[in-house]
Amino acid sequence: MRTWWILLLLLAIAVAAAFGWHALALDPGYVLIRVHDTRIETSLVFAVIASVLVVLLLIVVWQLLRWPFRTWNRRTRRLGRERLAIGLLALTEGRYPLAQRELARVAGNPRLHAPAWLALSRAAHASGDVAGTEAALNEAATDAPVAALALRTRFQLERGEARQALALLKPEAANDNLAPSSWHMLVEAALACGDHAAARNGLVALLRSQTLTSSAAEALEQRVLVDALGAASDGTALTALWSVLSRTQRRIPEVVCAYAQRAAALGQTLAGMSEVEATLRKEWSELLVRCYGELGPAEAETRLRNAESWLRTQPNSAALLLTLGRLCRDQALWGKAQEYLERGLAIQESAALWETLADCCVGAGDNATASQCYSNALRYTRGETTQALATRRTPGGLLTHAIVVEERSEHGVPRLRQ
């Protein structure tokens, strides 16, 4: 198809040339140029051809005159790129004096001015030269103010100057004049300063830019929301903040846990319990079931009944057994608590299980076993091997040590434990 169109185009050009030549053959035209007493007479065809040749000659002469300057400019640009590359490599390798020397040599190049000064600021910051860092950033800001601001606030955060960084970023954020990295710095600075409203607003803009990976965005969102909920001043503020969260955000286990713990601390234990229970009904979470046992003494009996009902569907959840042990401990049900905790230890050891079991042994008056449990908690934290407890039997000789409930698949078929 392409060949066919090329043939048609050539044919059209040939036809146009034939008709044009025929028209010029009939009347080639007449051109008269008179300057004072000098007269130049020629045909139009010759005048056009001569004009084209003169223009081509002038172009060739102009290119020849520009050739030395073009060669010099190309050499300058090539050397500038090479020095910039050497400087960036030296910066990456940690050879900061070499990086500063090479980058300073190209900083005067208008095409490389901004990247050279930005890289110079990085080298000066890595060397601990605060004055040099600020001077380089000021130079870079003349051509790339947004990038210079992002780098300046990053350096301030690394030096622990979160308030100064936040003060620089807030005015630009109000004008929506920040780069994605600056929005990230705004969120980090606001979190460090406890300005949770600014952190949430910055998070919205940062997520809108879609510059973070999904895992990084989720982790940052979780941090912002957990900090904001944990800093709620009273029940009204906590409820207002919780109500503006999206449905997806209110299903994040860490966020639900932060809300429940803060609600319990503010005397709204029932509200916290309700959210935890609602989330667990939709999706099981070891974190949330553990949090359920850390809401203080209020409503402990109700929480114990609810947790025991979950044991039928989650018999081998170490977090659930820890929660049951803690709730029984809070109600001085020492024997029942020890049974749950020992069963949890048989499934998966943890320092919290050993420590809670020790508390129960103290409450039951078994100080020797309590001492061993506290020691095991410390051993587990250090990564050392724990010591098994002595097997306890009832007066009738029955073994009362923990047992592990069988595991079943989603089809109800028992599984062998590995």
25: left (phi over 0), alpha (psi -120 to 50) or beta: alpha
CB of 165 closer than 8 Å to CB of 134: no
Q: What is the DSSP letter of 249?
A: G
Can you say how many angstroms the Cα of residue 309 is from the centroid of all Cα atoms in its chain?
39
Q: Which helix (H) or strand (E) holds 100?
A: helix 96-106
Give the chain's largest Cα–Cα span.
143
Q: How far is CA 275 from CA 234, 266, 281, 320, 365, in A?
A: 18, 15, 10, 17, 37
- Two tokens, residue 106: 């190209």
- The tens place of each residue's pLDDT in the chain, 418 residues long, gives 778 888 888 888 878 777 766 666 666 677 777 777 787 777 776 777 778 888 888 888 888 777 776 776 676 667 777 888 888 898 889 888 998 888 888 888 888 888 899 999 999 999 888 899 999 999 999 989 999 999 999 999 999 999 999 999 999 998 888 899 999 999 999 999 999 989 999 999 999 988 889 999 999 999 999 999 999 989 899 999 999 999 999 999 999 999 999 999 999 999 999 999 999 999 999 999 999 999 988 888 999 999 999 998 888 899 999 999 999 999 999 989 999 999 999 999 999 999 999 999 999 998 999 999 999 999 999 999 988 887 554 444 444 454 555 555 555 555 655 5
CB of 225 closer than 8 Å to CB of 245: yes
pLDDT of residue 166: 93
- Two tokens, residue 382: 């250090």
In the chain the domains, ranked by start, together with CATH numbers, are: 78-143 (1.25.40)
Cα distance between residue 281 and residue 279, in whole Å: 5
Nearest of 404, 273, 416 to residue 340 by alpha carbon: 404
Nearest of 330, 370, 336 to residue 354 by alpha carbon: 370
pLDDT of residue 402: 47
Alpha-carbon torsion angle 354, 356, 362, 365, nearest 10: -90
Question: How many other CB atoms are found less than 10 A from the CB of residue 205?
Answer: 17
Cα distance between residue 304 and residue 324, in whole Å: 6
pLDDT of residue 407: 58
pLDDT of residue 381: 92
CB of 345 closer than 8 Å to CB of 402: yes
**Residue whose token pair is 């409503």:** 299
Between strands 407-408 and 38-42, the pairing is: unpaired
pLDDT of residue 260: 94
- Two tokens, residue 170: 């807030």
Question: How many other CB atoms are found less than 10 A from the CB of residue 125?
Answer: 22
Quick check: pTM over 0.85? no
Q: What is the DSSP letter of 127?
A: T
